[in-house]
Amino acid sequence: MELSGNFSANVEKDKVVELLSNPNEFSKCVPNVSEISVNGSNFDLRFKIDASKYTGKFLGASYLSNINIKFSGSISYSSSSSTISISGGGSAVGIKFSISISLVLSESSGTTKIDWKTDVNVSGFAKLFGESMMNQAMGENVDQIISCIKKRLESQAS
């Protein structure tokens, strides 16, 4: 599943790079992180997703209401293309996924425009819940991460 969008922040590009290429800072925008381990640009997260509104319709799926996820990823920045890349994979009971996030930065007069694109691939029995439900769940979580990134960047402008 691919999602994309863009937004602008009244912050210089260098500050955006500093904030978003740091795994400790990026992880603050991942919902419900309970544990983080960072080694350079590589990081491991444990976080929880409330999936009750997606799984509640399925008899016997109530144990999936809070999904504990293990995720390993990396962050890199290419100055030649002004792109921050975040990629990795995760798993939970019966679910595996991979995600790549690309943030292309362009600056004009102290304002940075961020064109973002994310690609999420899910495998395992989660696909049994249907593509539209999986897309909704992933979309809401990606939206939450992007909203948090916007807020964190706006707070840098103050």
Per the DSSP assignment, residues forming a β-bridge with 87 are 74, 100
Q: Which amino acid type is present at position 3?
A: L
Please choose, from the candidates 148, 152, 124, the residue with its C-alpha nearest in 3D space to the C-alpha of residue 32: 148
**Per-residue pLDDT, 95:** 80
Side-chain half-sphere exposure of 5, counting CA atoms within 13 A: 11
Q: What is the pTM of this model?
A: 0.84
CA distance 7 to 27: 20
Question: How does pLDDT run across 83-111, given as a tens digit for each residue?
Answer: 999 999 998 877 888 999 999 999 999 89
Q: Average pLDDT in the 63-90 region?
A: 90
- What is the number of domains present in the chain? 1
Range of the domain at 143: 2-157
**Per-residue pLDDT, 61:** 53
**Per-residue pLDDT, 147:** 94
Given a cut of 80, is residue 54 above it in pLDDT? Answer: no
DSSP state, residue 37: E
The chain-wide mean pLDDT, for the chain, equals 86
Instruction: Supply the CATH number for residue 14's domain.
Output: 3.30.530.20
Question: How does pLDDT run across 14-35, given as a tens digit for each residue?
Answer: 999 999 999 999 999 998 899 9
